[in-house]
Structure 1
Amino acid sequence: MTTTEIFDTLWMEYTQRTPSAQKIKDLFIDKGNKIINDHVAFRTFDDPRVDIDVLAKPFLAVGYIESGEYTFVAKKLYAKHFEHATDKNAPRVFISQLKVAEFSTELQAEVKKMIDAIPENELNSGELVFKGRLWEQPSFVVYEKLQEETEYAAWLYVNGFCSNHFTVDVNELDTFSSLQEVNLFLKENGFKMNTSGGEIKGTPEEYLEQSSVLADRIPVVFKEVTKEITSCYYEFAFRHAMKNGKLFSGFIAGSADKIFESTDMKL
Structure 2
Amino acid sequence: MHIHDVFDALWQDYTTRLCPSALQVHALLQEESPLINDHIALRTFAHRDIGLEVLAKPFLDLGYQAEGDYHFEAKHLYAKHLRHPDATLPKVFISELHLDECSQALQAIVARLIGQIDDLPWSTPEFLWQGRPWDVSYSEYFELSQESEYAAWVAAHGYGANHFTVSVNQLSRFASVESLNDYLEEQGFTLNDIGGTVKGTPQVLLEQSSTMADEVGVIFSDMDASIPGGFYEFAKRYPQADGQLYQGFVAANADKIFQSTDRKS
TM-score, reference length from structure 1? 0.95
**2:75 paired residue number:** 75
Q: Which runs of 5+ in 1 are unaligned?
A: none
- Decide which of 226, 233, 236 is 2:234's aligned counterpart: 236
Residues 212-223 of structure 1: pairs in structure 2 closer than 5 A: 212-223=210-221
- 1:204 partner letter: P
- 1:216 partner letter: D
- Deviation for aligned residue 1:123: 4.3
User: Quick check: 2:58–2:123 contact (8 Å CA) kept in 1?
Assistant: no
**1:41 paired residue number:** 41
Aligned with 2:5: secondary structure? helix
**2:175 paired residue number:** 177
Aligned with 1:202: secondary structure? strand
- Deviation for aligned residue 1:223: 2.9
**2:157 paired residue number:** 159
Mapped to 2, the partners of 1:52 and 1:224 lie a distance apart of 29
- Decide which of 196, 201, 204 is 2:202's aligned counterpart: 204
Q: What do the CA deviations read for 1:52-76 (whole angstroms, capped 9, x no partner)?
A: 1100122111100001100001100
Alignment RMSD (CA, Å): 1.4
- Deviation for aligned residue 1:121: 4.4
- Decide which of 176, 192, 195 is 2:193's aligned counterpart: 195
- 1:258 partner letter: K
- 1:101 partner letter: D
User: Quick check: 1:134–1:160 contact (8 Å CA) kept in 2?
Assistant: yes
- 1:96 partner letter: S
User: Quick check: 1:35–1:168 contact (8 Å CA) kept in 2?
Assistant: yes
- Deviation for aligned residue 1:266: 2.4
Aligned with 2:222: secondary structure? coil
- Deviation for aligned residue 1:33: 5.6
- 1:135 partner letter: W
Is 1:128 aligned to residue 139 of structure 2? no
Q: What do the CA deviations read for 1:54-113 (whole angstroms, capped 9, x no partner)?
A: 0012211110000110000110000000000x2011100000000001111111111111
Is 1:106 aligned to residue 105 of structure 2? yes
Inter-CA distance 235–121: structure 2 relative to 1 (3 Å threshold): closer
Mapped to 2, the partners of 1:264 and 1:97 lie a distance apart of 17
Q: Identity percentage over the alignment?
A: 45
Inter-CA distance 75–238: structure 2 relative to 1 (3 Å threshold): same
Q: Which moved more, 1:119-128 or 1:252-261?
A: 119-128
- Deviation for aligned residue 1:225: 2.6
Mapped to 2, the partners of 1:146 and 1:94 lie a distance apart of 23
User: Quick check: 2:6–2:125 contact (8 Å CA) kept in 1?
Assistant: no
User: Quick check: 1:34–1:174 contact (8 Å CA) kept in 2?
Assistant: no
Q: What do the CA deviations read for 1:208-266 (whole angstroms, capped 9, x no partner)?
A: 00000000001222233322101100000000111221111000001100000000002
Q: Which moved more, 1:169-178 or 1:244-253?
A: 169-178
TM-score, reference length from structure 2? 0.96
User: Quick check: 1:229–1:265 contact (8 Å CA) kept in 2?
Assistant: yes
- Decide which of 246, 255, 258 is 1:257's aligned counterpart: 255
Mapped to 2, the partners of 1:244 and 1:171 lie a distance apart of 18
Q: Which runs of 5+ in 2 are unaligned?
A: none
